[in-house]
Chains A and B, each alone.
Chain A
Amino acid sequence: MTETRNKSADARRGFLRLLGGVVACAGAAAAGKVAVRPDEAAAEPSTVTPPAIPGYDWTKHRWAFGVDASKCIGCLRCVEACKRENEVIGDAHHFRTWVERYVYLEGEETPRVDSHSDPVNIEASGSEHEYRFANRYKDAKVEKAYFVPKLCNHCTHPACVQVCPTGATYRTDDGVVVIDHKYCIGCQYCVQACPYGARFFNEEKQVTDKCTWCYHRITKGLQPACVVVCPVGARIFGDLRDKQSSMSQFIRNNRTRVLKPESGNAPNVYYVGLDKDVF
């Protein structure tokens, strides 16, 4: 009887030792995994396999985007083109790019801000699939007004990439932040982390979605859809590796700024003609 007891106690000890070992290993592995500097992954060249695009080498480009806000007329062709080109959900709550309007009325200290997704503007267009800015200030005295196009900033240290638990969203070697829709689990942590509100949840695919600078176009030598349709040249896109590209010239010839630099994300959409009130 004593022998049986000892045996069973031994067996239990062995089992527990094994279990303890497994647990310790798992714990150590997990601890090792998180002990990495937060921006390391974003700053280093990506370890992801480059896309199999014929004749395209992503190490030879460094894309960037420019916006000359002083030129924008708020026609919203860019928004419509983006929706069609990228099959973005056609309502007033999902945008890869959007345009904001800042209006300063006489006697008011802060601007009134709206976008085309504002209910008043949607009512004016008559549909959530068409966008325009309603002439809502026609009876007021407007001192100053301007438009600001917005889109994903494809940051150098993207907070959205940092928080993604699976690595489904990553920064390519040519400087574009993309999402692998086949790997994304749809937790929306990245939606929370983006300070610019550039990300949204795609209910059709049940994954997160955002602007890719039309990666399917730029890797074929084309311009993003929003850049192509802009009638006033307010949107500029190009390769910073090419010193003669429109983007290199835009940065060289203008004093640019970026949005929310204090976030530490190091955004790559360069603006000209922004006022202090733009957030």
Chain B
Amino acid sequence: MEPVPNIAPFIGYVYPNETVVPWTVLIVVYPYLTGLVAGAFTVSSLYQVFGMQRFKPVAHLALLTSLCCMLVVPTPLLLHLGHPERALNAMITPHTTSAFAIFGYAASFYVLLLLLENWFVFRPHIVREAQRTNGALRLFYRVLSFGSDDLSEKAMRYDRKWIFALAVIGIPAAHGLHGYVGFVFGSLKSREWWSSDLMPAIFLFSAIISGTALVIVIYVISCRLRKEAVDLPCLKGMAYTLWGFMMFTLLLEGVEFASLVYRGREGTEMILEFVKGPLIVPFVILQFGIGSAMPLVVLTLMIWRGIGGKMLIAGVFVSACLVLLAVLMMRWNVIIGGQEISKTGKGLLTYTPTFLGREGLLVAASVIAAPFVLLSIMVRIFPPWSHAIRAP
């Protein structure tokens, strides 16, 4: 047998079996990715459903980003499973009482929805390319058009109806999928750090801010690469969205932590010791200090002072990068943190991820990078830039 990975040293008393950490850095990546999916979809819906025209430049980019992230979501889970070849057991014979049994269905439904909405959004491009190009590329686009090459005003109206409907269904689907990920953790009564009714809501709001931040980062970088000017009203709109939802997120996180401490149930002393000790850097400094307080101050200043131009772009971009870090740290602090507090309530463990190996940092980083590699290919096949998709 290979040496057992993830053995965690401990202080105090922990149950002997707890010294092997069950959920590793891959399970940190999984909710991070689903969060990005839900958040990016929200940005896209602000245009598609709520008709906010200022988000038009990023609407399709956000939708494509959402799809690319969603396609990678099952990967960290499959890599984590002891028997990935049996993964479908959960769909063939779903155990009805399990919070996790529905994942396969929910994820499949959402992937289907995203594929369909993307197809409608990029159909004009697909049809035009099928007529314009030659050879293999022509065949590729022709197959992708599914024989639907009608771009008349009537057909486009029909398409728009579908895009609207899919986006409307997509909002509860995306948010449900992510809120449900929060439920997977929040519903476990065995861990005080997880067991909270607010967990689904916290996961959801942090998802929205991470997705919005991701769209900001990708949009600014793509403008740079394509040597195009950043649409400032659009960027400002995303900054407002980020700022607003950050308020909700921080409030919920604050309320959750306060009620945990205030209730002071058994094991709370250990949790406080944990927060004041090993969690100072990842929780207090990275997640709240650098990741949340700093971007909040920067964004507030930007909005308050009405800053524009390059300063606005730089400020919002840096804030978005910090928010992406904060949400990653939030996932880490919830998932790893929860397992570092012993179920005995009398001990603390220390999980240190390995670099190599199936559940190591290298694999986790690759899984996080995969959607963006995929996206960089996708934007070449389906350009999401606003001028590329116009009705004929």
Contact = CB atoms under 8 A, between A and B. Distances in A.
Given A93-B7, A188-B22, A195 B13 contact: no
B83 A200 contact: no
Given A165-B90, A192-B191, A206-B82, A15 B19 contact: no
B345 interface: yes
B191 A165 contact: no
Contact of B146 (A12, A89, A165): A12
A263 B82 CA distance: 28
Given A5-B152, A9-B155, A207-B82, A34 B101 contact: yes
A11 B1 CA distance: 56
A218 interface: no
Interface size range of chain B in the complex? 35 or more
Contacts of B154: 9
Contact of A95 (B17, B100, B103): B17
Q: Which residue, of B2, B18, B97, B188, has the highest number of chain A Cβ atoms within 10 A? A: B97
Q: Which residue, of B87, B147, B150, B343, has the highest number of chain A Cβ atoms within 10 A? A: B150
Contact of A166 (B89, B116, B162): B89
B105 A198 contact: no
A92 interface: yes
B263 interface: no
A263 B189 CA distance: 7
Contact of A279 (B20, B82, B95, B344): B344
A167 interface: yes
Contacts of B82: 184-188, 201, 205-208
B336 to A, nearest CB: 12
B4 A34 contact: no
B22 A201 contact: yes
A208 B344 CA distance: 20
Contacts of A203: 1-2, 4
Interface string B120-146: 000000000000000000000000001
Interface in B1-57: 1-2, 4, 7, 13-20, 22-23
Contact of B23 (A192, A195, A264): A192
A180 to B, nearest CB: 10
Contacts of B158: 9, 13
A84 to B, nearest CB: 17
Interface in B79-107: 80-84, 86-87, 89-90, 93-103, 105-106
Contact of A263 (B7, B16, B190): B190
B20 A197 contact: no
A249 B116 CA distance: 65
Nearest to A30: B105
Interface of B: 1-2, 4, 7, 13-20, 22-23, 77, 80-84, 86-87, 89-90, 93-103, 105-106, 108-109, 112-113, 116, 146-150, 152, 154-155, 158, 162, 184, 188-191, 339, 343-346
The 4 closest A-B pairs by CB, nearest first: A186-B82, A197-B15, A206-B82, A30-B105
Interface of A: 5, 8-9, 11-13, 15-16, 19, 23, 26-27, 29-30, 33-34, 36, 38-42, 89, 91-95, 98, 100, 113-117, 150, 159, 161-168, 183-189, 191-201, 203-208, 263-264, 279
